[in-house]
Structure 1
Amino acid sequence: MLHNWGIRATLALSLAAITAIAGLMIGASIEAVVVALVGGVAAVLMAIGNGDAEGEPMPSAQPASTPVASATLLGEIIAAIAEPVLVIADRRVLHANAAARALLGEHIPGGDVRLAIRHPAAAERLVTPGGADGAQPIHLVGLGTRDQRWEMRVHDLSTGERIVHLLDRSGAYAADRIRVDFVANASHELRTPLASILGFIETLRDEAGEDPQIRDRFLKVMYDEANRMRRLVDDLMSLSRIEAEKFREPHESVDLAALVEEVRGEIAAASNGRGADLCTVVGDVPAVRGDRAQLSQVLHNIVGNAMKYGRPGTPVTIALQGDGRAMVRLSVTDEGEGIAPEHLPRLTERFYRIDSGRSRAMGGTGLGLSIVKHIVERHRGRLDIASVQGAGTTVSVLLPTGTMSSNRNTAATKAP
């Protein structure tokens, strides 16, 4: 039977472990959990020491087994943590969880911590107690892949060990870069037409406005540039609204076949003679779950692009068919010049253009496919772009079906 001190030690260790696991489950910081665990183990060791001083008998094997048990428990706790965590003492790595070994190497336990985390900014903090600035994180670049950004936090324990916690901040860094690039690009896109308008206004004020032909030509350019700014502002506002709703899945049932025919008629009527090139091939497909206004925007964008960049006199085909997996496939195919493979992965980036001059001349803002991508993501769908240079481009959108069903036979139609 266990002596009284043994019962107390067992209960204390159990409570320390339960407290640490509960802390992880409720979202407590890793450092706080480890401090609580080590503090509990220290209390157990003190209790054992007091028991010995009071004359209570202790089995000879117990003093050696308790530290081993506490070290094992500490290793099990950090093993449950998803982020890379190391426990170090005297510049050596005592424990490293699976995430830390995957990032820094399987060989790091037992080795010098400065060799495990080879970074100039980290070396001093790893070997020197933090003091007043110990809680300040250190930002590291180069661990893992070249593009990864890490935040290192070191916490000193009262028992002498130190906890090293690495947090992956690559996503936040990438988001900041996207935001900065977006603001810079938007400013540039707005500044260019604004500078043109101001320049023509100055010219008209300096007697150029007295010639009716020059005045009319300048006013037309100013009108076109102002319209370009309006389109850009409209697209920016549209993109902002779509992003604000991206986590709210639409539940409206949309008859996509009817919407395709409606958009085809609208674009054909406004295509200045190219309406006859626009064809539809609509199969018997069910309705989709979606936002009708946003899906109309998707169609207008991708069909409009196909009409702009397809060769005059060649067909632009809108096809709608079931995909056999509770999905509907919408595809728009043109027979234009096609797109080089290196451009395809970047087409949905904001303001990315293959030919900036041609895009601006055709009234493009550089945001159309970015808007399409965000709408498709909100609809839990998928966007694919395939192209062969000299043959044309196909833009495909896969959308989940809704509850309605349409009873249409497969047909091919051509705009009048």
Structure 2
Amino acid sequence: MAARRRRIIPIDRIRRDVPVFHDRRITQRRSEEKQKTRGSLLVSRFDTSPAKALTCAKPIARIPRFVRSGRRMFDRLSSLVIALTLIAIAAIFAALAGGDPPTIAMMAVAGFAATFTVYSALPPALSATRAQRTSPAETRPLSLLRHPDFARWVDQEKDPLLGVADNVVAIANDAAIRLLGRHIVGADIRTAIRHPLATEWLSRIDGDAPLETIDLVDYPRPGQRWTMRIAALSNGERIVFLSDRSAIDAADRMRSDFVANASHELRTPLAAIIGYVETLQDMNGEDDGATRRRFLSIIEREARRMQQLVIDLLSISRVEADRFRRPTAEVDLAAIVRHTITQLQDSESARPKDIVAALGTEAMPMLGDEAQLGQLAHNIISNALKYGRPGTPVTVELLREGARVRLSVSDEGDGIAPDHIPRLTERFYRVDEARSRSVGGTGLGLAIVKHISERHQGQLHIDSEPGKGTSVSISFPLAASA
């Protein structure tokens, strides 16, 4: 049996053919991918950077100029050759049909001339059309403000946000409409935000400007402050952010006032202590015992005043640190109030006979912090004892009102004017500075009461009438087991 001949393929042919086949498939696949992605948007995830604009994908590399020129020349020549060939064939058929040779020649010349004239006028337009079809057009950045993803992002922003195109407000979220009015969409941005500094910057910012932040003082009302950030996009559009800084400024002022008041409250008794100590040192034993005892009594009183101020500062700091943590332990408010009254009656500075308690015998269970509720009751009752007239009763009541319990403390003092009542819970606020110092108040008692009440979901109410006295009441929710 004859051996089967094996076909031997030269190795140089394999090396030449295989890459050609492989490259052809790769080229075809890449061409299809380019056709799919041509002109598509590169939409990345929107971030909070307002300067990030939405742009088109980079176009496919343009065909070299000499290649395009050669293609147009080839198109012209091939079309002209085809037209001349058709005219020549028509002339041959006319001659075979017995036509007059001079007439056939004239017809051929006229056809050549007509074909050349018509095609000379048409190729530029046809070539331009072919160039537009075969080469990518110049891409222009798409409008970020009109993209649906941008619109969704704008709606999710809580702060006012405006999209501006050619100084006209093209889009505004709900917060901006609430602040500036519904009429701002379609209006000039320089008139929509009515502030001199805003108008100046909005007129000056161009497409190449970086992110700018401007403070708008007394905007939109006196005493308020907003910040405006302007992000210029590459296609002439802008994004305007507005942020309310009024609450932050108020917190900063409150913090500064607190530090200043605390420093003042500590400096005053400290200065008195140092003064009396220096006086005693200068006497060199020449003073009598009564003067020395009086000076030492003043020093002790001022030192205890400083001690109480430090205690109150620490208390309000701890209460503020715990204000977001709701108490979970069940306590008896009636027992806490009874214990507080007993402590005040046993103290030397209290008026034990003036406290009239109407607490009843029923337990008042609630979820709370026993130490903080005891401090709350102590501050309210001690304030009534300090500012109530001696010999008049201080009434302490504990009443159940449905699912809540109300603690009420009333005195028969001089009372408080109505314009002072809203500020009584501010730190270091005093209606009568001289009287507060004489009775040893720190100005933090009701501020601590307010914070403890809020942590326990209480409702604080202060009612006072000049010349008749003051009533402070707090309503707390009872525990589920009550």
TM over 0.5: yes
1:19-58 pair list within 5 angstroms: 23=46, 28-29=47-48, 31=50, 35=52, 38-39=53-54, 42-43=55-56, 55=133
Q: Report the CA distance shift for 1:43/1:347 in structure 2 as closer, same or farther (over 3 A).
A: same
1:149-298 pair list within 5 angstroms: 149-207=225-283, 209-212=285-288, 213-270=290-347, 274-283=351-360, 284=362, 286-298=364-376
Greater gyration radius: 2
SS at the partner of 1:143?
Answer: coil
Asked whether the equivalents of residues 280 and 319 of structure 1 are also in contact (C-alpha less than 8 Å), the reply is yes
1:12-23 pair list within 5 angstroms: 16=43, 23=46
Aligned pair 1:367/2:444, yes or no?
Answer: yes
Aligned pair 1:92/2:168, yes or no?
Answer: yes
What residue is the counterpart of 1:62 in the other structure?
none
TM-score, length-scaled by structure 2: 0.70
Q: Encode CA deviations 1:155-191: one digit per residue, 9 max, x unaligned.
A: 1112221110011122211110000000111111111
Name which of structure 1's ranges 78-87 and 208-217 shifts more when overlaid on structure 2.
208-217
SS at the partner of 1:139?
Answer: strand
Q: Encode CA deviations 1:330-385: one digit per residue, 9 max, x unaligned.
A: 11111222111001000010110011111111111111001111111111222111
What residue is the counterpart of 2:388 in the other structure?
310
Query: 191, 210, 223: which is aligned to 1:115?
Result: 191
Asked whether the equivalents of residues 135 and 153 of structure 1 are also in contact (C-alpha less than 8 Å), the reply is yes
- Aligned equivalents of 1:306, 1:133: Cα separation in 2: 63
Aligned pair 1:337/2:356, yes or no?
Answer: no
Give the AA of the match of 1:384.
Answer: H
Asked whether the equivalents of residues 314 and 335 of structure 1 are also in contact (C-alpha less than 8 Å), the reply is yes
Give the AA of the match of 2:401.
Answer: D
Q: Report the CA distance shift for 1:124/1:279 in structure 2 as closer, same or farther (over 3 A).
A: same
Give the AA of the match of 1:311.
Answer: R
- Aligned equivalents of 1:9, 1:170: Cα separation in 2: 49
Give the AA of the match of 1:155.
Answer: A
Give 1:305 deviation, angstroms: 0.6
SS at the partner of 2:248?
Answer: helix
Query: 378, 383, 387: which is aligned to 1:300?
Result: 378
Q: Report the CA distance shift for 1:182/1:315 in structure 2 as closer, same or farther (over 3 A).
A: same
Q: Encode CA deviations 1:84-126: one digit per residue, 9 max, x unaligned.
A: 1111233332222222222223332333322222323323432
Asked whether the equivalents of residues 322 and 329 of structure 1 are also in contact (C-alpha less than 8 Å), the reply is yes
What residue is the counterpart of 2:180 in the other structure?
104
CA RMSD of aligned residues (A): 3.2
Asked whether the equivalents of residues 307 and 316 of structure 1 are also in contact (C-alpha less than 8 Å), the reply is yes
Q: Report the CA distance shift for 1:46/1:69 in structure 2 as closer, same or farther (over 3 A).
A: farther
Q: Encode CA deviations 1:291-342: one digit per residue, 9 max, x unaligned.
A: 0011000011000011111222222111112222x32111111122211100
Identical amino acids, percent of aligned pairs = 49
Aligned pair 1:127/2:140, yes or no?
Answer: no
Gaps of 5+ in 1: 57-65, 406-416
SS at the partner of 1:137?
Answer: strand
Asked whether the equivalents of residues 250 and 379 of structure 1 are also in contact (C-alpha less than 8 Å), the reply is yes
Give the AA of the match of 2:447.
Answer: S
Give the AA of the match of 2:475.
Answer: L
SS at the partner of 1:246?
Answer: coil
SS at the partner of 1:237?
Answer: helix
TM-score, length-scaled by structure 1: 0.80
Asked whether the equivalents of residues 253 and 403 of structure 1 are also in contact (C-alpha less than 8 Å), the reply is no
> Aligned residue pairs: how many?
375
- Aligned equivalents of 2:147, 2:199: Cα separation in 1: 25
Q: Report the CA distance shift for 1:161/1:146 in structure 2 as closer, same or farther (over 3 A).
A: same
Q: Report the CA distance shift for 1:273/1:381 in structure 2 as closer, same or farther (over 3 A).
A: closer
